[in-house]
Amino acid sequence: MGAPPDQFNQLGQDWSQPPWRPDRLAELGYAVFVEQKPENSPAEMRTYFRRFAQTLVAAKLLGVNDLHQENVMATEDEPTIIDAETAFLPYVVTARRMTATGVGGALTSFRSMQTQELENNYFVTPEEHAAWQDLSPEEKEQRRLVTYSDYITERRRNDLAGERNYRDSFFEGLETVLGVIDNNQDEIVDMVRDRMRDLKMARVVPFNTMEFTGAIRDYHDWQAPLLLTHDNLPRATRDRLERAACRQAEKLYRVRHLLPQMLNPDLLKVAMVEAVMRRAATA
């Protein structure tokens, strides 16, 4: 597997990873493909919360964080982590509270922070859905329920607090997995070591998504003079890289004859004058 040529690498990429095996996908129930199951019976939701607690303990032990509402999907009978910041974060592993995983968002927030639409982690029982349809305008106004997502958020926030509809199931899941860990510590350590021994390559990003995005952007800006030698860069990308490259006058001067185009010629002229002056000063 790899990636086709693009504006940053015209030779493409070889990731040295094999494609998925159809036979193994079938054996695993095509686990890499998951679908949200937003409507569940009360019995299914009790199972969901038991497994949520068990998943949370595993995430805490492995130092996983960023488990907010956009990164946890309510799938059949259990939550599925569809994105996480990284693993083996020391401050998560050693924290005294499970909230270090960021799971508070997944348990109490069910709307997108950008669009306010319902997120992957929401779910509802058939009875709750029917109750929403039967609510009178007066009842909705009294409970400050303007949209269906308001209602879902109200219902789910009663799962572990308030009415505590599924609190017992959640704590049952915690007690079960903690008991397993307590009674099988040596075996679990050996299992983790065996799994780690089989790893061919690991990538750990020890900072959050925004910081990681910023680091990648900084790297692109640092390499801007060289990146500008590529053809077919999107106009917005070329404009940003040109501005970053002009802050590195000498590096840009060395590749000036290789630039296929320049959107900001005035900036280029200033950078070239700066480069010539710097080269003359060190001659």
Per-residue pLDDT tens digits for 161-202:
888 989 999 999 999 998 988 898 888 878 767 766 665 555
pLDDT of residue 28: 62
Model confidence at 207, pLDDT cuts 50, 70, 90, reads low
pLDDT of residue 50: 92
pLDDT of residue 31: 57
Rounded to whole angstroms, the Cα distance separating 250 from 230 reads 19
> What residue ranges do the domains of the chain occupy?
19-198, 209-282
- Using DSSP, state whether 146 is helix, strand or coil: coil
Q: What single string gives the DSSP state of each residue in 245-266?
A: HTTSHHHHHHTGGG-S--S-HH
- Using DSSP, state whether 80 is helix, strand or coil: strand
- Between helix 42-61 and helix 167-183 the angle, nearest 10°, is 40
Spell out the residues 6+ positions from residue 40 whose beta carbon is closer than 8 angstroms to its own.
48, 74, 77, 123, 124, 125
Model confidence at 33, pLDDT cuts 50, 70, 90, reads low
Q: Residue for token digits 């640092």?
A: 222
Top-confidence range, 10-24, 69-83, 92-106, 265-279:
265-279
- Is the pTM of the predicted complex or chain greater than 0.75? no
- Between helix 167-183 and helix 185-198 the angle, nearest 10°, is 80
- Using DSSP, state whether 123 is helix, strand or coil: coil
Mean pLDDT of all residues belonging to the chain: 83
Rounded to whole angstroms, the Cα distance separating 199 from 121 reads 31
- The two structure tokens encoding residue 52: 């949520």
pLDDT of residue 29: 60
Q: Among residues of the chain, what percentage have pLDDT more than 90?
A: 35
Where are the alpha helices (H) located in the chain, listed in sequence order?
22-27, 42-61, 90-93, 104-108, 126-134, 137-142, 148-156, 167-183, 185-198, 209-222, 224-227, 235-245, 249-254, 265-282
pLDDT of residue 243: 94
pLDDT of residue 30: 56
